[in-house]
């Protein structure tokens, strides 16, 4: 047999008394007051329970992570499209008025400059991507952020950021591979290898612009 708690018993008894008084008659005013009291008694537990429910915590967006990605894309895009890097990749030896036709040869000084570019690019990537604020791909994937730059405002989605980062990573890898190709062959490239360098030079600027268009429309 179940047992009623004191509060439940008192509430039930009061409801029965009020209902009995209502059914036995009385003035319209009494009936109205009884109806209101009945309604309050019925609704009060629901109101109490609603007030006790835990509030949903608003998700806090990690602005530091967005700033970290923003800085990385700006800095790496600028470094990969740097005019000095391009000049050194195009710095094969040639006679005056000679056409830029493969095969190419890079002298020792030019190879040293290219090695310096590799070190700088690698250090730049390490600095940004290994930073404490740089987010994981899983974190970025859930982004839906309103970006405001000057008078421009747009919604930035995580999948777009991941696409931009992947493009930048691919371009970084290609540039490093191109430099390694020149250094490993001591600057003496055959025709197919020279063509690889030419293809790389053609790809750098369009790839950088594509990355920028995703993150900075």
Contacts of 41 (CB under 8 A, 6+ apart): 11, 14, 15, 18
Global pTM reads 0.71
d(CA 119, CA 114): 9
22 pLDDT above the threshold of 90:
no
d(CA 182, CA 104): 10
The predicted pLDDT at position 115 comes to 98
6 pLDDT above the threshold of 50:
no
The closest alpha carbon to 204, from 168, 163, 166, 161, belongs to 168
139 pLDDT above the threshold of 70:
yes
Contact 182, 189 (CB under 8 A): yes
The predicted pLDDT at position 41 comes to 59
The predicted pLDDT at position 177 comes to 98
Per-residue DSSP letters for the chain? -----HHHHHHHHHHHHHHHHHHT---HHHHHHHHHHHHHHHHHHHHHHHHHSPPPPPPPP-HHHHHHHHHHHHHHHHHHT-HHHHHHHT-----TT----SS-B--HHHHHHHHHHHHHHHHHHHHHHTSTTPPPHHHHHT-EEEEEETTEEEEEEHHHHHHHHHHHHHHHHHHHHHHHHHHHTTTB--HHHHHHHHHHHHHHHHHHHHHHHHH--
| DSSP bridge pairs for 130 | none
50 pLDDT above the threshold of 70:
no
The average confidence (pLDDT) of the chain is 81
Average pLDDT (25-51) is: 55
Tokens of 44: 């009060």
141 pLDDT above the threshold of 60:
yes
d(CA 83, CA 117): 12
pLDDT digits (tens, 9 = 90+) for 154-172: 899 999 999 999 999 999 9
**pLDDT confidence of 3, banded at 50, 70, 90?**
very low
**pLDDT confidence of 118, banded at 50, 70, 90?**
very high
9 pLDDT above the threshold of 80:
no
d(CA 216, CA 74): 9
Instruction: Check residues 20 and 150 and name the one with the higher pLDDT.
Output: 150
Query: Any idea where the domains of the chain sit in the sequence?
Result: 6-52, 63-215
pLDDT digits (tens, 9 = 90+) for 169-202: 999 999 999 999 999 999 999 999 999 999 999 9
pLDDT digits (tens, 9 = 90+) for 69-99: 999 999 999 999 999 999 999 999 875 455 6
């Amino acid at each position: 047999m179940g047992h009623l708690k004191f509060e439940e018993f008192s509430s039930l008894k009061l409801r029965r008394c009020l209902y009995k008084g209502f059914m036995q008659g009385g003035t319209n005013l009494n009936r109205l007051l009884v109806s209101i009291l009945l309604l309050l008694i019925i609704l009060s537990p629901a109101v109490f329970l609603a007030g006790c429910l835990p509030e949903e915590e608003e998700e806090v967006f990690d602005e530091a992570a967005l700033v970290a990605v923003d800085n990385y894309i700006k800095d790496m895009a600028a470094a990969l499209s740097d005019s000095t890097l391009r000049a050194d990749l195009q710095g094969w030896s040639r006679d005056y008025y000679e056409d830029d036709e493969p095969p190419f040869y890079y002298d020792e000084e030019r190879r040293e400059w290219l090695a310096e570019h590799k070190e700088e690019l690698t250090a730049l990537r390490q600095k940004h991507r290994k930073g404490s604020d740089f987010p994981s791909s899983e974190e970025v994937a859930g982004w839906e952020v309103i970006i405001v730059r000057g008078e421009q405002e747009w919604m930035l989605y995580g999948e777009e950021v991941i696409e931009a980062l992947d493009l930048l990573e691919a371009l970084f890898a290609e540039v490093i591979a191109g430099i390694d190709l020149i250094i490993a062959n001591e600057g003496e490239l055959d025709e197919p290898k020279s063509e690889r360098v030419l293809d790389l030079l053609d790809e750098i600027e369009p790839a950088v612009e594509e990355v920028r268009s995703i993150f900075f429309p």
